[in-house]
Amino acid sequence: MGRQADRAGFTSPTVCYPGHGDSMSSMHEAKSRQAGDLAATLSLATGVKVDISWNALRASKRLGDWAWYVEWADGPTASAMQVLVERELARQKRLALQPNDLAYLRTVQPGSLALAMVRNVRQGMPPLGRHPSLWQLEVALEEVNDPELGTAQDVSVANVLVRLANDLPDRMPALLVQYGLAGLRAEIDPPANLRRLWPNRSRPEK
């Protein structure tokens, strides 16, 4: 099977070349087993779910046409995860999966963006803090370890913000300005003398 045929279907993770099918398949299977073990170890070490999978479609330019992707949300930064991976591979001393086989893809979740905005407002800044755009806030969080962690109260308020924004980060700054921290806290624990007119909605229907 040629490379182009395998790429067109994206159904088989096995990369085969004329005359080398068996050896390439065996190597891929060995790497796949090691990737599963490594993902489990990293998940336990970091406290976030880590997946390591073969993905030709999103292969990085740095690695050429093919790559094993280490994927996770929040938790350690990409550089911190790379240190953990290389340390674990060196400890295992297995010859299948090598550091140069891997690419890293970390996602910052909406809840972490909401938590950063809540923290900014609590510190007297606008929701985006010193960043002129939501994208730049997200870029900044890519260099922050464990952006999903915060005080119990901040996390609760951030969860309300995520719900009101329907998981859409671009709606969060305006909602945070509209409600304020006090308003969002009231969504969590309304005062005894406050009766919500729309108990199951965040706002009246128009």
- Tens-place pLDDT, residues 41-68: 999 999 999 999 887 555 445 445 567 8
Backbone angles phi, psi at 136, to 5 degrees: -70, -30
Question: Token pair 């050896």 is at which residue?
Answer: 23
User: Sign of the C-alpha dihedral, residues 47, 49, 53, 56?
Assistant: negative
Euclidean distance between CA atoms 62 and 15, whole angstroms:
19
The top-level CATH class assigned to 32-107 is alpha beta
Token duo for residue 158: 């951030």
Mean predicted confidence (pLDDT) in 22-26: 63
Q: Please tell me the predicted confidence (pLDDT) of residue 31.
A: 85
Please write the tens of the pLDDT for every residue from 71-130. Answer: 999 999 999 999 999 999 988 876 678 888 898 999 999 999 999 999 999 999 999 999
At residue 76, what is the residue type? Answer: P
Domain coordinates in residue numbering, the chain:
32-107, 110-188
At residue 8, what is the residue type? Answer: A
CB 175 within 8 A of CB 117: no
Q: Please tell me the predicted confidence (pLDDT) of residue 96.
A: 78
- pTM, whole model, 2 decimals? 0.74
Per DSSP, the three-state class of 205 is coil
Count CA within 13 A, CB hemisphere, residue 29.
7
Q: Is 191 left (phi over 0), alpha (psi -120 to 50) or beta?
A: beta
For the chain, give the longest Cα–Cα distance.
Answer: 79
